[in-house]
Structure formats: structure tokens, C-alpha cells
Amino acid sequence: LGGWGGCKTCSDVFSTPKARKEFSKSVLALNKSFNTDGLDLDWEYPTIKGYPDHPFKPEDKSNFTALIKGLRKTLGSQYEISFAAGGFQKFLDESVDWLSIMKIVDRVNIMSYDLINGYSGATGHHTALYSNSQQKESTHNAVQYLIKIGVPRSKIVIGAAFYARVWENVPADNNGLYQAGKFKRSVGYRNFPKVLDGFQWFWDETSQAPYAYNSTAGLFATGDDKKSLAVKTKYAIDQSLNGIMFWELSHDVYKDGLVDAIYQVKAGM
């Protein structure tokens, strides 16, 4: 349920016991009808600003907890409940009551991408595995935050990006990394060869993330590739996490793509 731009009514609907109960009943009915195994909630975001003009309020935090409790009561133990969480620090600090809800849900899917978003006005790694001196936001930062406050490793899923974010009007300093710029567009992995033609690719050893720069056009790109996906999958295994997820499958190529990169590391465990 939800997604970026897909949860405009969430703050209002989930603010009353009656509406939460009706919603939970509808989730149960849909799971029975389609013979599916649960629900993944993607409210972007409780408590803090998300999609432009989508309502949010401080009460969202407690209402989200009440929603999760109501869903579990209605769905019972046979259905899964998970939720997508922003991987950035403000969400981690303010949006949800972690210790209350993690006792109830099966897993949290950390959206450890878009960490540098279209509103930032500067470039960076949008899906960095590790932090560096110029960028705190990273997959590892989110994972370690959750572990330190008591979230079980076995309920943490990290996220990967099957797309790049591209900035324009980017100076050539540092091959465009951590420079001023204007967000231009997103590009699915399967379209990298066509859209990112003329870019030179680089690897940030500290962040364990690729990035690319087109010096002729002043364009910068950041995203995941097969190398970074292999490193992230190994990270999930080494950290004893629940797994790795990605957005989205339609961006991959049909053969020898990013899903294959994940599977090859998993198969070699």
C-alpha cells in the first residue's frame, strides 16, 4: 500500500480507530480473495514531510503504531506485515516508534536509496552503502542505527536501486560528486547504455558506490550497478540481516542483470 505519491489520505484515514479497523478488515478480505500472504505498508511518511502537499502531523507516529497493532489483531499470525521505511536520518529519528512496532511486524524494508533526493540542490550517492566524511546518509548508517536501538537484525531488510538519478549543470570538480546541480531525471538500469552514453564511471571506495560524470554535458549520475549490488548482498549476509530488496524489477535487464548479481552472491553463501 502507498508509495511515493500514493498515500495522500494516509494521515487522515489512519487517525481514527474506526477507519483503522475498516482498513484492517479490508486487508484481510483482500488477502483471502487473492490468496496472498500479507501486506507491506509504504506510507511516505508518517510525522514528517514527504510527497509535496501530502498531509502529515505529529500524531502520525502513534497512529502508525495503532495501525500496526490493529492489523496484527485482525490478520492474526498467519499473514505477514512489513513496512517500507525511509533510510535517511530524519525518518529514523522522528517518524515511527521503532521498538513498539518491530515487536509486531515481520520485517522492515529500509529504502536505502534516494538518500540524496531531487530537492537537495547538490549531488551525492543516492544509494551509498557506507557513509563518508561528506555524506552521513547510507545503508550502513540506517542499519547500525536500528541495531543500536534494539531492532533485531533478523527483521532488517536493506534496499537497492535499480535506477540512477541524474543531475544537470554540475561542475567538473571531483568528477561531479558533491557539487551543486539540479536534479534532471531518473533512469532505469536497462536504459543505462542509451541514456548514460558518454558518461565516465567511477567507484567510491569508501562509500562502496558507483557514480558517473559526463564532462561534455555537465551531467552527473548516481545509482547501483552489478558491483555495488554484489557488495550490498554480501553486506546483508555478513550482518545477518533478513535480506535485500529493490525498486524496481521493471528497471532490470532480462538476462545477466542486477537480480542475477544478487542471486549469484546469495547462491555462493
Taking each helix axis as running N to C, give the angle between helix 139-148 and helix 226-238, from 0 to 180 degrees, rounded to the nearest 10.
Answer: 10
Closest by CA position to 199, among listed 171, 228, 166, 227: 166
Which cell numbers in the block locate residue 99?
A: 521498538
- Gap between the Cα atoms of 188 and 177, Å rounded: 20
166-199: per-residue pLDDT in tens?
999 999 999 999 999 999 999 999 999 999 999 9
Closest by CA position to 66, among listed 1, 112, 14: 14
Sign of CA dihedral 89, 141, 211, 86: negative
121-165: per-residue pLDDT in tens?
999 999 999 999 999 999 999 999 999 999 999 999 999 999 999
- Gap between the Cα atoms of 163 and 227, Å rounded: 14
88-104: per-residue pLDDT in tens?
999 999 999 999 999 99
222-268: per-residue pLDDT in tens?
999 999 999 999 999 999 999 999 999 999 999 999 999 999 999 99
Check residue 16 and give its pLDDT.
98
Measured CA to CA in angstroms, residue 241 lies from 40, 86, 152, 209 at distances of 18, 17, 8, 20
C-alpha distance across the termini of the chain, in Å? 33
Check residue 269 and give its pLDDT.
65
45-98: per-residue pLDDT in tens?
999 999 999 999 999 999 999 999 999 999 999 999 999 999 999 999 999 999
